[in-house]
Amino acid sequence: MTVLITGSSSGMGKTTALFLAKRGFSVYAGTRYPEKLQDIKEKNLHPIKLNVSSQTDIKNTLMNIPKIDILINNAGYGLVSTIEDLDENQMLEQFNINVFGVLRVCKAVIPKMRIQEQGIIINISSFLGKIGLPLLTLYNSSKYAVEGITDSLRYELRDFDIRVHSIMPGFFDTNFARENLVTNKKTFDKNSPYFKIVSTLTPQILNQINSGNDAILVAKAILKIIEDRHSPARVTVGEKASKFIPMRRELSDEDFERRVREYYHL
């Protein structure tokens, strides 16, 4: 089976690409930086240059891949900023990659799957796609949007035997905190009116990411979804997701917010 993964140069994407390639899948590892994967000696792994912010680039790249059985939308990053400090470009770019990138790749891949009358789309979301946190408003809302895309596409593609799922990871020990978190300078200025919440929450989040679960758990969850056509619409992976998602379902909005504030000392 042929797999296309976006955002494959590091973290969950790279781990999953290698994991599936070693199990016999033909994996096209899409990334803006394919040179980062050139040293990997794995015959089933094919690094390709793929920019999810350009529909033209996606279309041209996928012309060379005649069949795609599985699409894993993984490309994304996190913006850390208050709403007050955001500028227009930061807002647009967060959604351009995390949300519109998913839509663009789906738009290009779905016709191939529809003609095949089968396929699997797995969107890498986040447990933060179901709960809010301060300073991560843009990232959270982009993942909420990915969850909405997943739910709607399940209806839209059902008649063509195209399955659509999302994976909601918790905090994982990848390069995300070092390479995929973008901070707003105004928010992190010591004279910011939000400095108290920044100095309280940010160290906790960074520590939880850097000491988080191994990305191989996400790769194994993806394989399980591929192998089991009766897999649920969304799967949580990792300690934080397993803690917060059930709690979110059980509590009222007010009680859940109180628990989060207590947990993070906000």
The domain that holds 141 is classified in CATH as 3.40.50.720
More confident site: 182 or 98 = 98
Six-digit token string for 135:
């300073």
pLDDT surpassing 80 at residue 211:
no
3-class secondary structure per residue, 93-149: HHHHHHCHHHHHHHHHHHHHHHHHCCEEEEEECCHHHCCCCCCEHHHHHHHHHHHHH
Q: What is the pLDDT of residue 210?
A: 77
Q: What is the average pLDDT across 100-122?
A: 97
Record the pTM: 0.93
> Which position among 28, 33, 77, 139 bears the catalytic label?
139
Domain that holds residue 69: 2-263
pLDDT surpassing 90 at residue 174:
no
Query: Per-residue pLDDT tens for 58-76?
Result: 999 999 898 999 999 999 9
Mean pLDDT, the chain, integer: 92
Domain total for the chain? Answer: 1
pLDDT surpassing 70 at residue 238:
yes
Cα–Cα distance, 94 to 81 (Å, whole number): 11
Please list, in sequence order, all residues whose beta carbon lies within 8 angstroms of the beta carbon of residue 169, skipping any fewer than 6 positions away.
12, 124, 125, 126, 127, 213, 217, 218, 236, 237, 238, 241
Q: Is 139 a catalytic residue?
A: yes
